[in-house]
Amino acid sequence: MLEWGYNFQLAFASLAGAFALILGIIKRPPSWWSVGSIILVEALLLVQLVVSIVLVVQGQQAQGDTVEFFGYIITALVVPPAAIAWAVIERTRWSTLVLGVAGFTVAVMLVRMWQIWTGIRFSI
């Protein structure tokens, strides 16, 4: 997992989540902006998956469990499409809030993936 890619993805997923939450709080139904930002989160996750596969094929591995790392990526890849499907089916402000929660969910999962890949544990 590349550090600059992790930082960019974390910032983007957090901003996309905040953007959608703000739109939901002001009672806006899903739009191309809110759905589009979560689609970009998904696209970045797909890039992360490909980069991670290439890194592992080249001989690198996670400091933690590599299988667990890929489990997190696969799970994170499911969250945005589920939120987008919800937004397409139910076009209410609640769907926009779900998009926001999806963005923050991916951000939290990215932090956990970084912990697994680097072996660095954050403590509070």
**How confident is the model at residue 41, as a pLDDT?**
97
What are 51-106's pLDDT values in tens digits? 999 999 999 988 989 999 999 999 999 999 999 999 999 999 899 999 999 999 99
Length of the chain in residues, anyone?
Answer: 124
Q: Is 70 exposed, middle or buried (0-12, 13-18, 19+ CB in 10 A)?
A: middle
3-state secondary structure of 7: helix
Identity of residue 107:
A
Residue pointed to by tokens 């901003």:
15
pTM for this prediction: 0.90
What are 20-43's pLDDT values in tens digits? 999 999 999 999 999 999 999 999
**How confident is the model at residue 52, as a pLDDT?**
94
Is a pLDDT exceeding 80 seen at residue 124? no
